[in-house]
Amino acid sequence: MPENFYHVSLKLGGQRCLVVGGGAVAERKVKSLLECGAKVTVVSPELVQGLSERVAKGELLHKNRGFEPHDLDGMLLVISATDDKELNTRIAQLCRKRGILVNVVDNPELSTFYVPASVRRGPICISVSTGGASPLLARRIREYLESQIGPEFGELAVILGGLREQMKKRFPEQEQRQREWEKLLPENVIEQLNEKKLKSFRKLVEECIWWQSE
């Protein structure tokens, strides 16, 4: 049976992350790290155009050379995306010795974490993992979710996030707040959510915020 994994969401804002490799796979990994606010360093003597453009814009730090052990200094996590199996193994071993999270692309045996297939809608992130049993199945599930979960869910999450502090002030007791949240988000809200419903919900929340500020 595949190994079970403990899924967590890492707060990468301002955290230093390393990507070794400069190809198309490395570019995808860099993109996802930057979207989470990470400070990314790429080590590679060559870069695909997309990465070169990001370097030119100052979005990441590029070390134009091969990997060296001191590149790991201060890193929270490392992604090794090279075609060199020996180098990938060496990087993984060094990371394990130093207690650094490491993902070797397409080699779960060397990795201490996987990057699951994900659907992003604003602050909402839905991740799908098969524990390495079938990455293609994870991708198919992600594609299905993408067709079902539209951008309106991301906007809904933003609206609710803006309401949290007001709800805490208005309803200091947790049980009270829970009842109010359940009124705003009934069980069938997912099935019924569309642009018209979202517009009505937005108006309701704005009125609620205004009322609570009086």
- Note the pLDDT tens digit of each residue in 27-52: 999 999 999 999 999 999 999 999 99
Return the closest-CA partner of residue 101 out of 75, 64, 139, 69.
75
pLDDT band at 156 (very low <50, low <70, confident <90, very high): confident
Q: Domain 16-115's class?
A: alpha beta
Predicted confidence band at 3 (pLDDT cuts at 50, 70, 90)? Answer: confident
Q: Where are the alpha helices (DSSP H) in the chain?
A: 24-35, 49-56, 85-98, 135-148, 151-170, 174-184, 189-192, 195-213
Is residue 94 packed enough to be buried (19+ CB in 10 Å), middle (13-18) or exposed (0-12)?
middle
Query: Among residues 27, 49, 50, which one has the least CA distance to residue 40?
Result: 27
| Tokens 């906007």 sit on residue | 155
Q: What is the pLDDT of residue 85?
A: 95
Q: Where are the alpha helices (DSSP H) in 57-194?
A: 85-98, 135-148, 151-170, 174-184, 189-192
- pLDDT for 160-208, tens place per residue? 888 888 888 888 899 988 988 888 787 877 777 766 667 767 776 666 5
What pLDDT, in 10s, does the model give residues 122-135? 889 999 988 777 88
The span from the CA of 159 to the CA of 179, in Å, is 18
Q: What is the CATH number of domain 116-149?
A: 3.30.160
Q: Which residues are CB-neighbours of 198 under 8 A, at least 6 positions away?
A: 152, 155, 156
CA 49 to CA 27: how far, in whole Å? 9
> In the chain, where are the structural domains located?
16-115, 116-149, 151-213
